[in-house]
Amino acid sequence: MNQNEQEKTNQAVGKQTIRFACPPAILSRASIVGDMEGQGPLASYFDQIEPDPAFGMDSWEEGESEMVRRAVQTAITKSGIAKENIRYIFGGDLLGQLIGSTFGLKDFQIPIFGLYGACSTCGEALSLAAMTVNAGYASHVIAVTSSHFGGAEKQFRFPLEYGNQRPLSSTWTVTGSGAFLVSATSPDQPMKEYPRITSVTTGKIVDYGVRDNMNMGACMAPAAADVIYQCLEDLAVKPSHFDKIITGDLGKVGSEILIKLLRDNDYDIEKQHMDCGVCIFDNEEQDTHSGGSGCGCAAVTLAGYILHQLESNEWKRVLFVPTGALLSTVSFNEGQTIPGVAHAVVIEHIE
């Protein structure tokens, strides 16, 4: 192995982590959300709040696609990068066969990698985007994910028209799409003025045998604990290395389990931990129970609030960990468990 090879290989650290030689920059970001999110505590951070649940289209699903289209278009416009210079899109959503992404992204005519990691997809998309530009395969790529309350309830739970009562452990799918323009850097042009992705830790599927689809937090917490533990081990750092350790949509119930599981493994993250699902709604006031969830939850919280905090130097370094519950109505109805998966992305803004 020559030195060039050696250098590249050394980017893989520990069991599951890649530490980038040239940390990719998040050049721009966009967040498009629905009415409910626009009434929540993070409202002022979002690019667009749309009162029409169909986003001017004929159905929730088409509305989700329109939201995705707007998020990507806004991220491109804000970056000032010509669309022709964006080489790939990494995107996904919660709907079966990714129709939210398909119809939202098709008109951009940019080569596409469709992804599915349930609500962890934002972490998966940012990981592959960063891996791609750091390797020199592209100068600019887009990572985007979305979810829609109406479309998700219709697909996974009950028709909204039933007015079904929801248990307190259940979460409220966020209507939102977050898009990120991720760009290559080099030693000569490190782009330190932007938040940069310095490492990614890819999660394994973790199955504790939970079967309650109204308690997704409990399904996902073990996967989040697993990938956070491995990230800390691989990078040989303590939780205090980060200003925040931010999970995607564990909600109140799942967050408690996460903190306990990591404490059992000698890491106490309680001081650093926050959860996008807990932050995005005023869960008491808005009656969203355990918190927000969905592919869009972590994405718009990152695109809106978290990156703002990094850009304005409120925080220097965060561990962003979107969390996903791996089920479909078919697997659930056939009595399968609900395994979880989570992907960790370290984002820093240190000039």
Q: Which of residues 125-144 bind its own copies (CB under 8 A)?
A: 127-128, 131-132, 134-139
In a 3-state reduction of DSSP, which class is residue 186? coil
Binding window for its own copies (CB under 8 A); candidates: 164-172, 261-269, 301-309, 336-344: 336-344
Neighbours of 297 (CB within 10 A): 34
222 binds its own copies (CB under 8 A): no
Given 38, 207, 237, 243, the residue binding its own copies (CB under 8 A): 207
Q: Copy the structure tokens of residue 168.
A: 């307190």
Question: What residues form DSSP beta bridges with 141?
Answer: 88, 182
Residues within window 93-112 making contact with its own copies, judged by CB under 8 A: 94-99, 102-103, 105-106, 109-112
Residues within window 243-272 making contact with its own copies, judged by CB under 8 A: none
Give whichever of 302 and 327 is closer to its own copies, judged by the CB atom.
327
C-alpha pair distances (Å), 51 with each of 34, 38, 304: 6, 8, 18
Least distance to its own copies, CB of residue 296, Å: 16
Binding window for its own copies (CB under 8 A); candidates: 113-121, 240-248, 262-270, 308-316: 113-121
Residues within window 45-84 making contact with its own copies, judged by CB under 8 A: 58-59, 61-62
Give whichever of 96 and 167 is closer to its own copies, judged by the CB atom.
96
124 binds its own copies (CB under 8 A): yes
Give whichever of 127 and 255 is closer to its own copies, judged by the CB atom.
127
Binding window for its own copies (CB under 8 A); candidates: 31-39, 208-216, 239-247, 321-329: 321-329
211 binds its own copies (CB under 8 A): no
Stated as kind and residue range, the H or E segment containing 28 is strand 25-34
Looking at residue 179, its amino acid is: A
Give the alpha-carbon dihedral of 76, 188, 351, 201, to 10 degrees.
Answer: 70
Q: Copy the structure tokens of residue 52.
A: 């029409």
Burial 324-343 (b: 16+ CB within 10 A, else e): bbbbeeeeeeeeeebbbbbb
The alpha helices in 135-197, defined as continuous H runs, are 149-156
DSSP state of 119: B
Given 26, 81, 261, 341, the residue binding its own copies (CB under 8 A): 341
Cα 172 to chain center, whole Å?
16
216 binds its own copies (CB under 8 A): no
